A and B are shown apart, each in its own frame.
Chain A
């Protein structure tokens, strides 16, 4: 059965988030665009430092400023640009219409307040409920995320809960106000493998029940394949490939994506060593002029070092940012310059 997503709830257009530091300008997010439809799960994958987390913090307006600043683009949530909103308007969206789960369940909860208090706080803030009703709702949320004896657990402080349980509390907190968009920033990275599967299952089933759209940020391609509908692969602050999860796995287009998939251990082959992508991610203060992956790319031609193509639409599902898929690929790069591609 194929899921149908029609209504676009979130549309990011050419988002740019830069950090102005003493060492120079770091273009952490450098012109990315994607769409999120109602009830859909979008995966954002990439290595550390590729700009995944900065993208998600940008969506909520939580970029630490200074040194960070969103310098361009737009974030359309239900048709309205979040970047044009006041801080007060953003506060009524955060935790209410768009909420977020963080990577570190061990440190993301406040150690001096009980789990229940921290969930009830968001409920009281956004749903204007009384103390008692909010508490009952918090307990209800804990039950929903599968915490046994939620009445008792709600009264406990974070240090009395395990890592998996804390992440469940975070999920309960994030979903307490039935947000339309849930951003999960590496929600399972800090957890045991057995707990990882449980947490992902939980997010998936709650998403189905509540109809929430999810942005799942991860570096785990297995998780993406299991969980996501569509995927954006990020490299050095840009989206290099934007496609369906299935297509990404079966038919990757961008050399970086191909490299990532090749570096996964395979059960069906006898491997002595894992394949790696040569070189390292370029320094954010010293980005190459052209395609930022070109220095590590086995296929790179001179034109790749000159400029980077916009996302090219290959078919209905797939967009890729690589010269290989353009008509210019077979011709000399000097001709390209004459044509004047940016």
Chain B
């Protein structure tokens, strides 16, 4: 198990290098020149050239990339072109907010989704099952930006239960986490249900019954651990959707998180900030995947570690 984790961590290195290269090249291809933007309107060609030289943008792309990687490895992500503050500092201010939001919504995805799925499966075709499946269908179908706006409309504007926007208290967290977690919860609920229904028909469930175990022990001990194996895969995939989702959710609820930082940076062609933000997001994503792999291995001992 330990070797497995070490090996998986080593495997992340080429992945991260690849990600950094892709991010770097995409930013090269995006129309709009940061030097021109920085120089402002009406700047002379000479000024623009000078700024470009200062930023090192006149060097070959490959050299620029290596330079960037070497600096990043030293913890230097460059400085924002907008306010000249170090990119890493800016990110570190915003990151905790996004992580809080992501954890809250993953909590909703996993807990709400699995509970709903288990209820659905153990009471197949009951009113509860049908209701849960209809709600889950809605959850998958509704786009999160629209769903977020509707939540704001009902719970904030009309009922005044939760704040309209912003971040800081538990109350601030509820609607954004719900917006971001609902789609995932719906998918997890459906997955848990079908996986559970599959598992209850297995021979080993009959063996558990023949042992004289109580029904809830049979379902939760012998059934759930097996049923969770495909669910974990789905939850892992949800992490990816989550990172994209934070960008939208943070915009809808005006939360100053990493997602919004990246969007703003793209709008102002703040190259180092975009690169830094995307890179950090990618690192988080890669490590989330690693965590999922380890969990998967824990639940499914049949996974071959080699």
Binding site for B on A (CB under 8 A): 60, 62, 90-96, 99-100, 102, 104, 107-113, 121-122, 125-126, 157, 159, 170, 173
Contacts and interface: CB of A to CB of B under 8 A. Distances in A.
A107 B210 contact: no
Nearest to A157: B301
Interface stretch (B8-16, B85-93, B201-209): B201-209
A111 B209 contact: no
Interface residues of B, number: 19
B55 to A, nearest CB: 56
Given A110-B226, A111-B302, A122 B211 contact: yes
Contact of A111 (B204, B208, B211, B214): B204
Interface string B53-93: 00000000000000000000000000000000000000000
A122 B213 CA distance: 8
B300 interface: yes
Contact of A107 (B202, B211, B214, B302): B202
Contact of A108 (B206, B212, B299, B301): B206
Interface on chain B toward A: helix, strand, loop, or mixed SS? helix
Given A96-B212, A112-B299, A125-B211, A104 B203 contact: yes
Contacts of A170: 207
B212 A112 contact: no
Given A107-B204, A113-B222, 7 more contacts: A94-B210, A95-B210, A102-B203, A104-B203, A109-B207, A110-B208, A110-B222
B225 interface: yes
B226 A112 contact: yes
Contacts of A159: 301-302
A92 B226 CA distance: 25
A91 B214 contact: yes
A121 B210 CA distance: 12
Given A157-B301, A159-B301, A159-B302, A110 B204 contact: yes
Given A157-B301, A159-B301, A93 B212 contact: yes
Contact of A60 (B210, B213, B299, B302): B210
Contacts of A108: 203-204, 206-207
A102 B212 contact: no
A53 to B, nearest CB: 11
A102 B214 contact: no
Given A102-B203, A107-B202, A107-B203, A112 B210 contact: no
Contact of B301 (A100, A104, A112, A125): A112
B212 A100 contact: no
A291 to B, nearest CB: 33
Contacts of A111: 204, 226, 301-302
Contact of B209 (A94, A104, A112): A94
A96 B225 CA distance: 25
Contacts of A109: 204, 207
A209 to B, nearest CB: 22
A170 B208 CA distance: 11
Interface string B155-175: 000000000000000000000
B180 to A, nearest CB: 31
Given A91-B214, A94-B212, A107-B202, A102 B207 contact: yes
Contacts of A173: 207, 211
B96 to A, nearest CB: 36
Interface in B208-266: 208-214, 222, 225-226
Contacts of B203: 102, 104, 107-108
Nearest to A114: B301
A272 to B, nearest CB: 40
Contact of B212 (A92, A110, A113, A157): A92
A128 to B, nearest CB: 13
Contact of A91 (B204, B212, B225, B301): B212
Nearest to A99: B210
Contacts of A62: 206, 209-210
Nearest to B222: A110
A160 to B, nearest CB: 9
Contacts of A110: 204, 207-208, 222, 226
Contacts of B206: 62, 102, 108
A100 B207 CA distance: 8
Nearest to A119: B211
B212 A122 contact: yes
A173 to B, nearest CB: 7
Nearest to B299: A112
Contacts of A125: 211-213
A315 B251 CA distance: 90
A95 B211 contact: yes
A78 to B, nearest CB: 17
A92 B299 CA distance: 30
Interface in B175-215: 202-204, 206-214
Contacts of A99: 210-211
A99 B206 CA distance: 12
A94 B214 CA distance: 11
A307 B185 CA distance: 60
Nearest first, the 4 A-B pairs at minimum CB distance are: A94-B212, A95-B211, A95-B212, A107-B203
Report which residue of B202, B208, B209, B214 has the largest number of chain A beta carbons within 10 angstroms of its beta carbon: B209
A37 B269 CA distance: 88
B210 A126 contact: no
A96 B213 CA distance: 11
B141 to A, nearest CB: 32
Contacts of B210: 60, 62, 94-95, 99-100, 102
